[in-house]
Amino acid sequence: MIHSLFLINSSGDIFLEKHWKSVVSRSVCDYFFEAQERATEAENVPPVIPTPHHYLLSVYRHKIFFVAVIQTEVPPLFVIEFLHRVVDTFQYYCSGISVLMQHTGPFAQ
Protein backbone atom coordinates (compact mmCIF):
# COMPACT_ATOMS: atom_id res chain seq x y z
CA MET A 1 0.00 0.00 0.00
CA ILE A 2 1.26 3.51 0.71
CA HIS A 3 4.86 3.61 1.88
CA SER A 4 5.28 7.36 2.27
CA LEU A 5 3.37 10.62 2.04
CA PHE A 6 4.99 13.93 1.13
CA LEU A 7 3.36 17.35 1.38
CA ILE A 8 4.86 19.83 -1.07
CA ASN A 9 4.01 23.53 -1.20
CA SER A 10 3.70 25.64 -4.33
CA SER A 11 7.37 26.66 -4.01
CA GLY A 12 8.45 23.03 -4.29
CA ASP A 13 9.43 22.61 -0.64
CA ILE A 14 8.71 19.30 1.06
CA PHE A 15 7.44 20.55 4.39
CA LEU A 16 5.98 17.35 5.82
CA GLU A 17 6.65 13.68 5.26
CA LYS A 18 5.30 10.52 6.85
CA HIS A 19 6.66 7.01 6.30
CA TRP A 20 4.78 3.83 7.14
CA LYS A 21 6.44 0.67 5.82
CA SER A 22 9.92 1.95 5.11
CA VAL A 23 11.65 5.28 4.72
CA VAL A 24 11.55 6.35 1.09
CA SER A 25 14.17 8.95 0.22
CA ARG A 26 12.99 12.43 -0.66
CA SER A 27 14.85 12.02 -3.94
CA VAL A 28 11.85 10.05 -5.25
CA CYS A 29 10.09 13.42 -5.43
CA ASP A 30 12.51 14.47 -8.18
CA TYR A 31 10.27 12.56 -10.61
CA PHE A 32 7.34 14.60 -9.34
CA PHE A 33 9.27 17.85 -9.70
CA GLU A 34 10.16 16.95 -13.31
CA ALA A 35 6.48 16.34 -14.11
CA GLN A 36 5.60 19.59 -12.34
CA GLU A 37 8.06 21.51 -14.54
CA ARG A 38 6.55 20.01 -17.70
CA ALA A 39 3.00 20.95 -16.64
CA THR A 40 1.68 24.33 -17.70
CA GLU A 41 -0.23 24.77 -14.43
CA ALA A 42 -0.21 23.05 -11.05
CA GLU A 43 -3.56 21.41 -11.80
CA ASN A 44 -2.04 19.77 -14.90
CA VAL A 45 0.52 17.61 -13.06
CA PRO A 46 -0.39 13.98 -13.82
CA PRO A 47 -2.06 12.30 -10.82
CA VAL A 48 -0.08 9.08 -11.42
CA ILE A 49 3.66 9.19 -12.14
CA PRO A 50 5.47 5.89 -12.69
CA THR A 51 9.12 5.71 -11.65
CA PRO A 52 11.55 2.77 -11.96
CA HIS A 53 10.74 1.44 -8.47
CA HIS A 54 7.67 3.36 -7.27
CA TYR A 55 4.46 5.02 -8.33
CA LEU A 56 3.73 8.56 -7.22
CA LEU A 57 0.06 9.44 -6.84
CA SER A 58 -0.87 13.01 -6.08
CA VAL A 59 -3.69 15.44 -5.51
CA TYR A 60 -3.43 19.23 -5.51
CA ARG A 61 -5.61 21.12 -3.05
CA HIS A 62 -5.22 24.42 -1.24
CA LYS A 63 -1.97 25.10 -3.13
CA ILE A 64 -0.40 21.96 -1.64
CA PHE A 65 0.51 18.72 -3.39
CA PHE A 66 -0.20 15.57 -1.39
CA VAL A 67 2.09 12.92 -2.92
CA ALA A 68 1.75 9.25 -1.95
CA VAL A 69 4.54 6.80 -2.77
CA ILE A 70 3.61 3.18 -3.46
CA GLN A 71 5.71 0.26 -4.68
CA THR A 72 3.09 -2.11 -6.03
CA GLU A 73 0.19 -1.53 -8.34
CA VAL A 74 -2.98 -0.65 -6.50
CA PRO A 75 -6.18 0.89 -7.81
CA PRO A 76 -5.17 4.55 -8.24
CA LEU A 77 -8.62 5.87 -7.35
CA PHE A 78 -8.35 4.15 -3.98
CA VAL A 79 -5.16 6.08 -3.14
CA ILE A 80 -6.45 9.34 -4.61
CA GLU A 81 -9.63 9.06 -2.53
CA PHE A 82 -7.49 8.41 0.55
CA LEU A 83 -5.44 11.54 -0.21
CA HIS A 84 -8.60 13.63 -0.53
CA ARG A 85 -9.73 12.35 2.86
CA VAL A 86 -6.36 13.26 4.36
CA VAL A 87 -6.81 16.80 3.01
CA ASP A 88 -10.35 16.96 4.41
CA THR A 89 -9.10 15.82 7.82
CA PHE A 90 -6.33 18.44 7.86
CA GLN A 91 -8.80 21.10 6.80
CA TYR A 92 -11.31 20.09 9.49
CA TYR A 93 -8.63 19.89 12.17
CA CYS A 94 -7.01 23.21 11.25
CA SER A 95 -10.32 25.07 11.02
CA GLY A 96 -11.23 23.69 14.45
CA ILE A 97 -7.93 24.97 15.84
CA SER A 98 -8.45 28.44 14.35
CA VAL A 99 -11.99 28.64 15.74
CA LEU A 100 -10.73 27.51 19.14
CA MET A 101 -7.94 30.12 19.06
CA GLN A 102 -10.45 32.86 18.20
CA HIS A 103 -12.54 32.01 21.26
CA THR A 104 -9.74 31.27 23.74
CA GLY A 105 -6.76 33.19 22.42
CA PRO A 106 -5.23 36.29 24.04
CA PHE A 107 -7.51 38.58 22.03
CA ALA A 108 -10.77 36.73 22.71
CA GLN A 109 -13.60 38.87 24.00
pLDDT of residue 107: 47
CA angle, 89 as apex, 85 and 93 as ends, to 5°? Answer: 170
Closest CA to 21 of 72, 86, 87: 72
CATH 3.30.450.60 given to domain 1-102:
yes
> What are the residue ranges spanned by the domains of the chain?
1-102
Q: What is the mean pLDDT of the chain?
A: 88
Q: Based on the number of CB atoms within 10 Å of its own CB, is 58 exposed (0-12), middle (13-18) or buried (19 or more)?
A: buried
pLDDT of residue 73: 84
The arithmetic mean of pLDDT across residues 14-40, rounded, is 94
The arithmetic mean of pLDDT across residues 38-65, rounded, is 95
At 104, the amino acid letter reads T
The arithmetic mean of pLDDT across residues 5-18, rounded, is 94
pLDDT of residue 1: 85
